[in-house]
């Protein structure tokens, strides 16, 4: 027996390769006990240099072939059938501080024919789940026993359209409703189920107010509290109730002063606030303007009108102080303006500016005088005669006596007399 690091098998040095069968899988590889203070058991798939410790007990001096293969498959993969086993030994001595290590390697080939292990059942990590539209969760099957030869499963869901399930068991909520997800084993058709309920997505609604008043909210005419979760797509109506003497100042996020504010088709978490403010005192009433009565009339044939700001007024109307009143005279045919009172004149308009007292205006019309007869044409001058000596002027005579007889006749109150010159004295 070579205890200086050579693996032992059935009482002698181990061969370079061992075929492991059901008959010899319980045989052991070992080193003499007590000969090495540190023993490492490592394995790597053949053709690779990937040695990994099979356990951390460095004083264990033997391992069964089946144990070596089980641990190697656990580390490197269950489908690998050929491993290189390495024994790494340290005898505890040193040469200048360097310990003496010895390695011994044996190739183990798994030639065992595995026995078929049937599936006895399957379970799921969830039996019921509630999701909102768009959410996902993972269903994980557990096949019994863990050593089953065929642990494969398939997935199905009924009814369709509410949730979808992938080959890995990932469930996605698609629409409101309830569906059953079923997992079935390939071996034995064992099943397990999870009932999934899909509810509409919800969003929180927050609302508050500042100032004197109250703010309420309703969904489908039912009141809700601030912070409530409301189904997506719903309409939320907010109603502001100002305290007495107050009014709505503004809404946030949307400005405005109405007493209601509506959020339609709710699609996200929402916060609404309303601000109240005191209603300002009304302004003092505007004093009524001072007014004065305006009277106007006419005499004679014609008409007289008056306007204020181009609007006609009637005589006796009350007109605001400071206004301008324009009077317009319209004489009848064959007549003209004779005079205005209080201001004289013959124009057809008369204006009172900056009215400051009760005012009376009259206009008098008169018949227009007959036009003067046309001036006769000047006579054509005769040719200039030869100059004549001037005729001496007659000597004036003085009337000495006039005789006025009785009226010749009286008509229409007018007396007519005949004047007789009796004598003219020189």
Q: Tell which wins on pLDDT, 413 or 285.
A: 285
Residue carrying structure tokens 């491993």: 83
Residue carrying structure tokens 């189920």: 193
Characterize the bridge pairing of strands 191-199 and 128-132. parallel
User: In angstroms, what CA-CA distances link 278 with 1, 42, 248, 250, 399?
Assistant: 107, 87, 9, 13, 110
User: In angstroms, what CA-CA distances link 426 with 236, 393, 419?
Assistant: 133, 14, 20
Residue 392, pLDDT > 80, answer no
Convert the pLDDT of each residue in 227-237 to its tens digit.
999 999 999 99
d(CA 338, CA 47): 142
**CATH 2.60.40.1080 placement within the chain:** 121-199
Q: What percent of the chain has pLDDT over 70?
A: 83
User: In angstroms, what CA-CA distances link 291 with 252, 315, 318, 355?
Assistant: 50, 14, 6, 9
DSSP labels, 112-125 = --PPP----EEEES
The answer to whether 179 touches 128, Cβ cutoff 8 Å, is no
Convert the pLDDT of each residue in 145-202 to its tens digit.
998 989 999 999 999 999 999 999 999 999 999 999 999 999 999 999 999 999 988 9
In this structure, what are the phi and psi dihedrals at residue 396, rounded to the nearest 5 degrees? -60, 145
For residue 76, the SS3 value is: helix
Sheet holding 17-20, edge to edge: 17-20, 98-110, 82-95, 38-45, 52-53
Residue 10, pLDDT > 70, answer yes
Characterize the bridge pairing of strands 136-138 and 170-173. antiparallel
For residue 88, the SS3 value is: strand
Cβ atoms < 10 Å from Cβ of 88: 19
What's the CATH fold of domain 121-199? Immunoglobulin-like (2.60.40)
Return the closest-CA partner of residue 340 out of 179, 331, 349, 332.
349
In the chain the first and final C-alpha atoms are separated, in Å, by 213
User: Across 38-47, 287-296, 307-316, which has the greatest mean pLDDT?
Assistant: 307-316
Checking 393-397 for CB contacts under 8 A at 24+ apart, the result is 395/426, 397/424, 397/425, 397/426
**Tokens standing for 165?**
């399930």
What would the CATH number be for the domain defined by 8-110? 2.60.40
On the 0-12 / 13-18 / 19+ scale of CB atoms within 10 A, 26 is exposed
Return the closest-CA partner of residue 181 out of 118, 131, 231.
131
d(CA 415, CA 404): 13
Convert the pLDDT of each residue in 27-55 to its tens digit.
999 886 656 778 889 999 999 999 999 99
Residue 393, pLDDT > 70, answer no
Position 416 scores a pLDDT of 46
d(CA 198, CA 278): 48
**Tokens standing for 20?**
């492991």
């Amino acid at each position: 027996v070579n205890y200086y690091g050579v693996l032992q098998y059935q009482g002698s040095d181990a061969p370079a390769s061992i075929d492991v069968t059901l008959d010899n899988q319980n045989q052991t590889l070992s080193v003499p006990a007590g000969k090495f203070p540190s023993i490492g058991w490592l394995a790597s798939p053949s053709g690779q240099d990937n040695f990994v410790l099979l356990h951390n007990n460095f004083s264990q001096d033997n391992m069964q072939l089946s144990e070596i293969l089980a641990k190697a498959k656990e580390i490197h993969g269950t489908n690998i059938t050929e491993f290189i086993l390495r024994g790494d030994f340290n005898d505890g001595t040193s040469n200048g501080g360097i310990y003496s290590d010895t390695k011994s390697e044996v190739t183990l080939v798994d030639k065992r024919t595995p026995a078929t292990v049937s599936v006895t059942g399957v379970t799921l990590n969830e039996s019921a789940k509630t999701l909102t539209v768009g959410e996902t969760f993972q269903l994980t099957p557990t096949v019994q026993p863990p050593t089953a030869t065929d642990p494969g499963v398939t997935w199905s869901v009924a009814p369709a359209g509410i949730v979808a399930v992938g080959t890995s068991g990932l469930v996605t909520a698609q629409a409101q409703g309830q569906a059953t997800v079923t997992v079935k084993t390939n071996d034995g058709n064992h099943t397990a189920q999870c009932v999934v309920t899909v509810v509409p997505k919800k969003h929180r609604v927050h609302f508050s107010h500042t100032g004197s008043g109250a703010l309420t909210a309703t969904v489908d005419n039912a009141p809700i509290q601030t912070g409530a979760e409301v189904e997506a797509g719903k309409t939320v109506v907010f109603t502001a109730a100002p305290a007495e003497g107050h009014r709505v100042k503004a809404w946030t996020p949307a400005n405005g002063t109405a007493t209601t504010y509506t959020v339609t088709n709710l699609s996200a978490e929402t916060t609404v606030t309303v601000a109240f403010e005191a209603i300002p005192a009304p302004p003092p009433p505007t004093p009524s303007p001072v007014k004065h009565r305006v009277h106007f009339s006419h005499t004679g044939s014609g008409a007289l009108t008056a306007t204020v700001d181009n609007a006609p007024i009637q005589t006796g109307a009350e007109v605001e102080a400071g206004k301008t009143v324009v009077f317009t005279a319209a004489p009848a045919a064959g007549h003209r303006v004779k005079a205005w009172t209080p201001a004289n004149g013959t124009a057809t308009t008369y204006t009172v500016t900056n009215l400051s007292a009760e005012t009376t205006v009259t206009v008098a019309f008169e018949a227009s005088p007959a036009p003067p007869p046309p001036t006769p044409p000047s006579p054509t001058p005769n040719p200039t005669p030869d100059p004549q000596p001037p005729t001496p002027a007659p000597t004036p005579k003085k009337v000495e006596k006039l005789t006025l007889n009785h009226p010749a006749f009286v008509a229409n109150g007018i007396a007519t007399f005949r004047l007789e010159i009796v004598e003219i004295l020189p």
